[in-house]
Amino acid sequence: MSNIQDITKPEHLVYRKTPLLTDNVMHYCPGCTHGVIHKLVGEVIEELDIQDKTIGVSPVGCSVLAYNYLDIDWAQAAHGRAPAVATGISRLHPEKYVFTYQGDGDLASIGCAEIMHACSRGENIVVIFINNAIYGMTGGQMAPTTLLGQVTATTPYGRDPKLNGFPMKITELLAQLDGTCYVTRQSADTPGAVRKAKNAIKKAFQNTRLQKGTSFIEIVGTCNSGWKMTPVDSNTWMRENMFPKYPLGDIKDI
């Protein structure tokens, strides 16, 4: 009944890759959450029509090369310093949409001071925080968000609170600060979750337009390479272990 010419007519188009994503081949492992979130950020920038006003700050971590994948202006920051770099950009370009994209090691460990104070000052920026409970880039060492008992390259017998301390819920901490206007925790493991995450990212960029302060979006994600699991098992492990510790939903919205 329908042939290929018919199906591929422009009026039958149901999905297209946002032009904000470049054609560069992503270096991410199959199943990694980073790629999905890049796409969402790209779609939001396209839908809000702010490509010419958006500046991203990439971290040190697996997403350091995010600048190769989103077709916007980018600054690459030192490990953990993205919120300070974004502060500098945003203060000098108050009319621009400035966001950081950071992992859990970058944001919650080495960059703890920078994220705290950027949020405390209420810098008019968006922070996208990918919590995969591990240092993906350096080969799967313990992160501040690593769960108790979780095996990593530096907790080969599982994270022991006596030895390694406790997992850190930095997002709840940041919600306490007066400078944050929107703090939420999302995931990207189902189509529904992806849609919700996208809405959160969109709202965050709209907050920048309204000069509301810092919008903070945590994405609980997987690192199947670091976790040494298949992508499907990673999602199951994440739902069973990460979600109870890092419950999804809005924490603050003013």
Q: Which of 42, 56, 103, 167 binds ligand TPP (CB under 6 A)?
A: 103
Which of 34, 96, 185, 203 binds other proteins (CB under 8 A)? It is 96
> Counting contacts by CB under 6 A, is residue 132 touching ligand SF4?
yes
CB 238 within 8 A of CB 222: yes
Among Mg ion, ligand SF4, ligand TPP, none, the one that 208 touches (CB under a kind-dependent 5 to 8 A) is none
In the complex with ligand TPP, which residue's Cβ is closer, 115 or 134? 134
Determine which residue in the list 115, 197, 223, 242 makes contact with ligand SF4, applying CB under 6 A.
223
Residue 247 Cβ vs other proteins, minimum distance, rounded to whole Å: 29
The continuous run of DSSP H or E covering 91 comes out as: helix 82-92
Angle at 137 between CA 132 and CA 141, to 5 degrees: 65
The site map against ligand SF4 for 24-43 (x = CB under 6 A) is ----xx--x-x---------
The residues in 113-142 that bind Mg ion, with binding defined as CB under 5 A, are 132, 136
71 three-class SS: coil
130: enclosing H helix or E strand: strand 126-131
Cβ contacts of 180 within 8 Å, gap of 6 or more: 119, 122, 174, 213, 214, 215, 216, 252
CA–CA dist 205, 221 (Å, integer): 21
Q: Which of 18, 35, 43, 76 binds other proteins (CB under 8 A)?
A: 76
Q: Measure CA 186 to chain center.
A: 9
Phi, then psi, of 28 in degrees rounded to 5: -70, 150
DSSP structure class, residue 8: T
Question: Per DSSP, which regions of 33-96 are E strands?
Answer: 54-58, 73-76
3-state secondary structure of 202: helix
Residue 49 structure tokens = 């029509």
Part of the chain binding ligand TPP (CB under 6 A), chosen from 7-15, 41-49, 131-139, 240-248: 131-139
Residue 197 makes contact with ligand SF4 by CB under 6 A: no
Regarding 152 and contact with ligand SF4 (CB under 6 A), the answer is no
Binding mask 79-118 for ligand SF4 (x = CB under 6 A): ----------------------------------------
127 binds other proteins (CB under 8 A): no
Q: Which of 44, 64, 108, 127 contacts other proteins by CB under 8 A?
A: 64
Q: How many residues does the chain have?
A: 254
Please give the residue ranges that form the binding site for other proteins (CB under 8 A): 51-55, 57-58, 64-65, 67-68, 71-78, 81, 84-93, 96, 113-114, 116-117
Positions in the binding site for Mg ion (CB under 5 A): 103-104, 132, 136
